[in-house]
Structure 1
Amino acid sequence: MPGRQNDPTNPTDLTPTRKTLISTEIDYEREGFQTGVLRIPYSHDRSAYGHIPAPVAVLKQGAGPTVLLTGGNHGDEYEGPLALMKLLQRMPTMQIQGRLIVIPALNFPAFLNGSRTSPIDRGNLNRMFPGDRNGSVTAMIAHYVDSELFPRADVVLDLHAGGASFNHMPTLLAALPSDPARRAEYLKLVDAFAAPHTMIMDLLGEDRTYGAAAERHGTLFLCGEFGGFGSCNVEGLAIVEQGLRRVLHATGLTRGDSPPPPRHDTRFIAVEGTRHYLFAPRHGVFEPCFTLGQQVAAGELAGRLFDPHAPWERPRELHFGAAGMVVCARSFAGVAPGDCIALLASPATL
């Protein structure tokens, strides 16, 4: 449906004629398998009328749910993109009932650069929702997802990892709906994915994320962290691949598929506010006294922070503020004030 046209008699009428500046040859309503790109406008010194082509694939067969799968929200996280690239190899021969939209590397400039944020505008896509039609490259991507993809989707999965700065235990992240019927439907998907752990996340009030935006649209949203160090975790990749097959089957999209049985009965854990975060209080070199997956006690020594400019001085000892399991640990030994060093979680009851 064409947008409202500008009034040529009124020079101050600058109403946009298109909802989004990102275009694509993909027709989301067409039956069959399509591949193409999202053309993200990018005018710069060496390409006045250029764009960034971000690959996208769609498979639509008859009536049924729409499932949106994305990876590469951060460009240094690889388990999701690789699992989705492998899924793309199977999509032309898949038999489904509904629509499957797959974008392996959503923040494509960051993915090509192997960095958390975009090398073009330093945008962290997962902190820019709902985005901006007329904003930076990353803001335009967020706006396209929020205005064009979320309204079409019934179920959304966004696949993450710790990236270069973190190592994360393979964990599904969940935000449970308050409505009992939606909650039951949501937990069905959680059980189908069958990650070793499912974590109720506390982002300390952060509401600019992809997940927060998806929830505002009323979609069933799942996320997950499946490795780190800016590498591909073999175990994490297998969990993602098998979990995706089971979730697609549980939604009714791939009723004819026979996905592998779950390897885990997921254990629910929860991040409980700031007491489960360990932050660096100053610059230094951090010596950890814990390992990923370790159970720690409140007040237990977390590590020592050395001052490289005064190495003869006694290091500052940092202690955990609460008990829990270390689910995420910083990769880099060098820290600055405010850097997150570790994240804990405790057993949760639903």
Structure 2
Amino acid sequence: MTTATSHITTSRITTDVDFERDGFQTGTLRVPHSHDRSAYGHIAIPLAVLKAGSGPTLLLTGGNHGDEYEGPVALMKLINRMPALRIAGRLIVVPGLNFPAYMNGSRTSPIDKGNLNRMFPGARDGTPTQMIAHYVETVLLPLADVALDLHAGGASMNHLPTLLASPPPDRDRHALYWRLVDGFGAPHVMVADLLGEDRTFAAAAERRGKLFLCGEFGGFGTCNPDGLAIVEDGVERLIATLGLLPGHPVPDPRPGRLMRVEGARHYLFAPAPGLFEPAFRLGDEVADGQIAGRLYDPHAPWREPVDLRFRGSGVVVCVRSFAHVQPGDCLVHLASDTVRT
């Protein structure tokens, strides 16, 4: 078994994969998990590694949330092709990063209710989800030059297919970063603003000085064929753009429509419990003050519904799946066109 090498921060997660060995390998990350049915047990998270000579390392992950499927399916298909790839560098592929959530088909882990994308930097001696976050931040990210984490809206939301861009604070790397974004070639690109949130994969990558891409490519708890096609194409284009395929033509840049979420005014939340009737569709252009939908009281169907209105203008990039809502549920969020800075 191999582990991280830090004296104090050595992860408790081990693996039978040697990240430094040339060739194609499959194996698991072993997350210690002692419980009633298995005193000395572990959670086995599958991964694949392909390494050949020197070159960049690309870390590809899916299943950060367990009810988002376009990423895992695309990465499993990639793993099946990996033995035939002639690369210069290294690919590390983990299709189901929060494996308990992924196997449960839920956003959070059924073991500890952990939302992996709100767990970084994690904890060496924490719950299983905390240990996974700690391993990503202390072992996998230090190995990588670029990381791509693939998402969708999960069961409760549906997203316009969008690559989320987190330009590095180091402006010397901006040109390379945008070359990777344009290389992926998503139809929409949304500039992410962490707004001080430091518990995400993106924040971990920023702390480690790594170039990070993320994306939302569907939702409703399904594997959307259109979103899957965008992910598969984008991953192939990213691998070539990064220079991992010597002799392979680098794809022409394909910039997507660039947008930005402009704070609270681009979000609409349910003010009360009820049944929500939307007055928009995913991808619609909407205006400030426009009717967003109506909220009905199922316990008093004779009451007039409450009109809910947008507080900003933009494109509908994300919608709620479930019609039944509780106060605080996000119903929709928007994004506006922007320019690169």
Name 1:216's counterpart in structure 2: 207
With the length of structure 2 as denominator, give the TM-score of the two structures: 0.96
Residue 237 (1) aligns with residue 228 (2) = yes
For 2:330 and 2:6, the matched residues in 1 are separated by: 45
For 1:97 and 1:2, the matched residues in 2 are separated by: 25
Residue 81 (1) aligns with residue 59 (2) = no
Name 2:51's counterpart in structure 1: 60
For 1:235 and 1:205, the matched residues in 2 are separated by: 33
Residue 348 (1) aligns with residue 338 (2) = yes
For 2:277 and 2:235, the matched residues in 1 are separated by: 37
- Bigger Cα displacement from structure 2, 177-186 vs 60-69: 177-186
With the length of structure 1 as denominator, give the TM-score of the two structures: 0.93
8 A Cα contact 2:166 2:193, kept in partner: no
Please list every run of 5 or more consecutive structure 2 residues that lacks an aligned counterpart in the other structure: none
Name 2:306's counterpart in structure 1: 316
Shift of 1:2: 6.1
Name 1:180's counterpart in structure 2: 171
Residue 159 (1) aligns with residue 150 (2) = yes
- Bigger Cα displacement from structure 2, 168-177 vs 309-318: 309-318
8 A Cα contact 1:158 1:222, kept in partner: yes
For 1:301 and 1:235, the matched residues in 2 are separated by: 29
Shift of 1:176: 1.4
Give the residue type in structure 2 aligned to 1:314: E
When residues 328 and 124 of structure 1 are mapped into structure 2, their CA distance, relative to the original with a 3 A threshold, is: same
Shift of 1:210: 0.6
Shift of 1:177: 2.1
8 A Cα contact 1:327 1:344, kept in partner: yes
Q: 1:181-226: CA deviations, max 9, x gaps?
A: 2110000001101100100123543221111111111111000000
8 A Cα contact 2:240 2:251, kept in partner: no
Runs of 4+ in 1 over 3 A off after TM superposition: 1-4, 202-205, 256-262
Q: Secondary structure at the match of 1:322?
A: coil
Q: Secondary structure at the match of 2:37?
A: coil
Q: Secondary structure at the match of 1:232?
A: coil
Residue 247 (1) aligns with residue 238 (2) = yes
Q: 1:111-151: CA deviations, max 9, x gaps?
A: 11111111111100000000011111100000000000111
Q: Secondary structure at the match of 2:318?
A: strand
Residue 41 (1) aligns with residue 61 (2) = no
Shift of 1:313: 1.4
8 A Cα contact 1:242 1:260, kept in partner: no
- Alignment equivalent of 2:267, drawn from 268, 277, 285: 277
Please list every run of 5 or more consecutive structure 1 residues that lacks an aligned counterpart in the other structure: 5-15
Name 1:306's counterpart in structure 2: 296
Give the residue type in structure 1 aligned to 2:199: R
8 A Cα contact 1:202 1:272, kept in partner: no
8 A Cα contact 2:181 2:255, kept in partner: no
When residues 3 and 290 of structure 1 are mapped into structure 2, their CA distance, relative to the original with a 3 A threshold, is: closer
When residues 285 and 204 of structure 1 are mapped into structure 2, their CA distance, relative to the original with a 3 A threshold, is: farther
Cα root mean square deviation, aligned? 1.5
For 2:295 and 2:191, the matched residues in 1 are separated by: 30
Shift of 1:260: 6.9
Name 2:216's counterpart in structure 1: 225
Give the residue type in structure 1 aligned to 2:297: D
Aligned length: 337
- Alignment equivalent of 2:86, drawn from 83, 95, 114: 95
When residues 35 and 323 of structure 1 are mapped into structure 2, their CA distance, relative to the original with a 3 A threshold, is: same
When residues 109 and 41 of structure 1 are mapped into structure 2, their CA distance, relative to the original with a 3 A threshold, is: same
For 1:251 and 1:141, the matched residues in 2 are separated by: 26
Give the residue type in structure 2 aligned to 1:114: G
Q: Secondary structure at the match of 1:133?
A: coil
Residue 194 (1) aligns with residue 210 (2) = no
Q: Secondary structure at the match of 1:211?
A: helix
Shift of 1:256: 3.2
Name 1:9's counterpart in structure 2: none
Q: Secondary structure at the match of 2:108?
A: coil
For 1:50 and 1:261, the matched residues in 2 are separated by: 48
